[in-house]
Amino acid sequence: MKILFIHQNFPAQFLHLAADLARRPGHQVVALCMEKRAAPPGVSLRRYQLLRAPGADVHPLLAEQETHVRYAEACAAAALQLQRDGFTPDVIYAHPGWGEALFIKDVFPRARLRIYCEYYYAPEGQDVGFDPSLPPLGLPERWRLRLRNSTNLLSMELADAAVSPTHWQRSTYPAWARDKITVIHDGIDSERLRFNPDARLALPAANGDTRSFQPGDEVVSYVARHLEPTRGFQVFMRALPELLRRRPQAHVIVAGGEAGGYGHAAPGGASWKEHLLAELGDSIDPERVHFSGQLAPAQYLDLLSISRVHAYWSVPFVLSWSFLEAAISGLPVIASATAPVLEFAARLDVPTVPFFDAAAFASALAERCAAGAQGAREPRHLPETDLAQCLARQRQWLGAS
């Protein structure tokens, strides 16, 4: 079978499935992407580039749609070149979020189109409007958010079938669209998450030296792609003074990028890290709170082995891989009582706390620190994220079993 993956940042969510299919006899696997990243062995990677610059007089509410059309055009042009080179897929599996799926059926009309339904935006009740301390959306912003779903909707109409990784993510889509969406998780490689007693993580200290951490140290970890309110960074930071007071030997390792994010920018042009450090002042000891930036994969795995308790906080938004990976690894996790988390928390034995209750958050983290280091950990098993089971279901759904 000939299989075409389409994702700007391939392999991303398609990593395990693309690698699995490429290993199996009888499959030819090709991926179209924009970013230059390593592909799994056996996957032929073809990059596409935008063919034109943004238009000069596009209506501001349509700027995102115009971008999606440019991505769709570029992807279709790369697909036409694939066709000229002799590759015509039997099935296409695309992430539709940036528009790349919009024109692909016009190039390959006989191919079955499958799409990955990650998230459907809502003007309230999910990530937007959740935190009352953040400014509400004005009308133009609400209109822009509604239009953001247009690419989702067109892609859904074109697709033969769709998949979401969690039931909550599926629930964000309109009721009439859910019948087309099957819930199958990407899969978690639990072997990769096994406890490493030799893990070490060296980070710059505030005094200019290097501080090294290892299993057994009293470490609280927090991981997010961006340090921002969508991932509860403001609540986590406001919980730290009490945590540090109650646990005088504890250190906190905060991993994540300072720039960018999914939600509101911080006031005054500062990053959220800068804004919250200014707000909290001397109550945050720089000798005990360490900002690592974004960690390399091996460093991230070492942090999971070193940490005594992991903090995961998120508004109702796409669930981070770090939450499931930390919990499945056997690392104790304290998390927010928000819908994406609650889908899994009880079965992973993860205590949850109301999102805005920084005092309860600090207390839960402090109590877990006081329980002492675990030593070797027993990984938790969650059948619907088991990698082998997820891959078998994905292959069947794709028609490539």
Question: Cα(16)–Cα(328) distance, rounded to whole angstroms?
Answer: 17
> Does residue 2 or residue 261 have the better pLDDT?
2
Return the CATH number at 169.
3.40.50.2000
Q: How many separate domains does the chain show?
A: 2
Host domain of residue 317:
190-381
Contact 89/3 with Cβ under 8 angstroms? yes
Within this chain, do residues 182 and 197 fall inside the same structural domain, yes or no? no
Q: Please tell me the distance from the alpha carbon of residue 71 to that of residue 109, in angstroms, as a whole number.
A: 19
Let me know whether 179 and 288 are in one domain. Answer: no
Amino acid, res. 175: A
CB within 8 A of 153, min separation 6: which ones?
177
- pLDDT (tens digit per residue) in 90-133: 999 999 999 999 999 999 999 999 999 999 999 888 988 888 88
Residues 236 and 197 in one domain: yes
The pLDDT assigned to 260 comes to: 80
Q: Collapse the DSSP code of 264 into the 3-class scheme (helix H, G, I; strand E, B; otherwise coil) and give the result.
A: coil
Give yes or no for residue 160 having a pLDDT over 90. yes
pTM metric for this prediction:
0.93
**What is the pLDDT confidence band of residue 268, given thresholds at 50, 70 and 90?**
confident
Q: Is the peptide bond before 332 cis (omega within 30 degrees of 0)?
A: no
Is the pLDDT at 389 greater than 90? The verdict is yes
- HSE at residue 92, side-chain half, CA atoms within 13 A, is 32
- Both 182 and 218 in one domain: the answer is no
Residue 322 confidence (pLDDT): 95
Same domain, 311 and 206: yes
Res 86 pLDDT > 80: yes
Q: What is the pLDDT of residue 394?
A: 98
* pLDDT at residue number 39: 93
Tens of pLDDT, residue by residue over 26-45, are 999 999 999 888 999 999 99
pLDDT of residue 401: 72
Which residues have C-beta within 8 Å of that of residue 171, sequence separation ≥ 6?
178
- Stretch among 55-64, 115-124, 352-361, 370-379 having the lowest mean pLDDT: 370-379
Interatomic CA distance for residues 121 and 137, integer angstroms: 13
Same domain, 167 and 80: yes
Distance of CA 106 to the CA centre of its chain: 30
Helix (H) or strand (E) holding 238, with range, is helix 233-246
CA distances from 43 to 78, 88, 146, 153, 322 (A): 16, 15, 36, 29, 26
Summarize pLDDT for 166-208 with one digit per residue, the tens. 999 999 999 999 999 999 999 999 999 999 999 999 998 777 7
Let me know whether 143 and 208 are in one domain: no
Is 367's pLDDT higher than 80? yes
To 5 degrees, how large is the angle CA 232–CA 360–CA 328?
Answer: 65
Same-domain pairing of 253 and 168: no
DSSP-based three-state secondary structure for 29:
strand
Q: Tell me the average pLDDT of the chain.
A: 94
Q: What is the C-alpha radius of gyration for the chain, rounded to an integer number of angstroms?
A: 22
Angle between helices 15-23 and 387-398 (to 10 degrees): 70
pLDDT band at 220 (very low <50, low <70, confident <90, very high): very high
Q: Given pLDDT bands bounded at 50, 70 and 90, which one contains residue 377?
A: confident
pLDDT (tens digit per residue) in 306-349: 999 999 999 999 999 999 999 999 999 999 999 999 999 999 99
Give yes or no: residues 109 and 167 share one domain.
yes
Is residue 296's pLDDT more than 90? yes
Same-domain status, 168 and 204: no
Q: What is the mean pLDDT of residues 8-18?
A: 96
Does the structure show a pLDDT above 80 at 374?
no
Burial status of residue 176 (CB atoms within 10 A of its CB: 0-12, 13-18, 19 or more): exposed
Whole-number pLDDT of residue 382: 94
Same domain membership, residue 133 and residue 201: no
**pLDDT band, residue 368 (cuts 50/70/90):** very high
- Considering the domain architecture, whether residues 19 and 137 belong to the same structural domain is answered as yes
What percent of the chain is modeled with pLDDT above 70? 100
pLDDT at 98: 94
Q: Confirm if 72 and 46 have CB atoms less than 8 A apart.
A: no
